[in-house]
Amino acid sequence: MKTKFNKVLFDLDGTITDSKEGILNSLRYALDKMKLEQYDDEFLMSFVGPPLMDSFINKAKLSVEKAEKALGFYRERFQTIGIYENKLYPGIRELLHLLSQRNDISVYIATAKPLPYAIRVLEYFKIIKYFDDISGSTLDGSVSGKTQVITNLLNKFKPDFNRESTLMIGDRDHDIIGAKENGIKSLGVLYGYGDLAEVRDADYLVESVIELQKFLLGGK
């Protein structure tokens, strides 16, 4: 079956991996080191996906200076422990393998997670081989946010690539917004961290990895 999309961009956290345990534990560690309020899980879940500096400033209401310090504490724990408090969503490895068997589909990662961390996660789960390229943010903040991450990836494609046949898959509103701002299609997954209200503006929606597989590859 011929696919409608020949370039497929995947978000990482909340789309390929369920990373909330490591992220939440590292956020709590940072807040504790900063002697700040310990927020509940629901509030901290809103930090998962968007750039953490933005969340520390806009959600935790920290100054830029304090947000940078909190981010440093977060990374202190995350890069050694939290990054491995993580698991693949059931069926994702199989889906990536099936996509790799197609010669008419190229698969990419577009994540707001810092690129070195994204690479380590993909290597840890032994799935890095399934991706043609990986785009992420930078540790120094020079590349931050999903729109910029997607733009950087698209800029590597040939100038005449077809945006209509390029798809961004993610679970949060910034995945959908980043796709729209780059003129490509978007698909919201409802098994991740965002709810229907957050991804309702996506061009397509699926509720499970099985539905995602059917969407991308067809079949029953």
Residue 179 and residue 106 in one domain = yes
Catalytic residue among 11, 13, 18, 175: 11
Given a cut of 60, whether residue 81 has pLDDT beyond it is yes
pLDDT number for residue 219: 62
pLDDT number for residue 50: 80
pLDDT band at 218 (very low <50, low <70, confident <90, very high): confident
Residue 105 and residue 189 in one domain = yes
Q: Could you give the CA distance from residue 220 to residue 210 in angstroms, rounded to a whole number? A: 10
pLDDT number for residue 127: 98
Instruction: Give the Å distances, CA to CA, from 70 to 91, 142, 143.
Output: 35, 18, 19
Residue 2 forms part of a structural domain: no
pLDDT over 70, % of the chain: 98
Our count of domains for the chain comes to 2
Residue 205 and residue 136 in one domain = yes
Tokens standing for residue 217: 């590859």
Residue 132 and residue 208 in one domain = yes
pLDDT band at 33 (very low <50, low <70, confident <90, very high): very high
Mean pLDDT of 72-79: 96
Residue 79 and residue 122 in one domain = no
Residue 43 and residue 141 in one domain = no
Given a cut of 80, whether residue 193 has pLDDT beyond it is yes
pLDDT band at 53 (very low <50, low <70, confident <90, very high): very high
Which of 41-45, 141-145, 147-151 has the highest mean predicted lDDT (pLDDT)?
Answer: 147-151
Instruction: Give the Å distances, CA to CA, from 179 to 10, 25, 34, 80, 154.
Output: 11, 30, 35, 32, 11
Residue 110 forms part of a structural domain: yes
Residue 201 forms part of a structural domain: yes
Mean pLDDT of 106-133: 97
Which CATH number belongs to the domain containing residue 99 in this structure? 3.40.50.1000
Q: Could you give the CA distance from residue 88 to residue 17 in angstroms, rounded to a whole number? A: 4
**SS3 sequence, 140-205?**
CCCCCCHHHHHHHHHCCCCCCCCHHHEEEEECCHHHHHHHHHCCCEEEEECCCCCCHHHHCCCCEE
Active site includes 171?
A: no
Residue 201 and residue 132 in one domain = yes
Residue 12 forms part of a structural domain: yes
pLDDT number for residue 141: 85
Residue 51 and residue 126 in one domain = no
Q: Could you give the CA distance from residue 3 to residue 175 in angstroms, rounded to a whole number? A: 22
**For residue 6, which phi and psi values (nearest 5 degrees)?**
-105, -5
Residue 134 domain boundaries: 7-18+87-217
Residue 117 and residue 174 in one domain = yes
Residue 70 and residue 93 in one domain = no
Domain boundary among the residues 49, 84, 119 is at 84
Classify burial at 48, counting beta carbons within 10 Å of its beta carbon; exposed 0-12, middle 13-18, buried 19 or more. buried
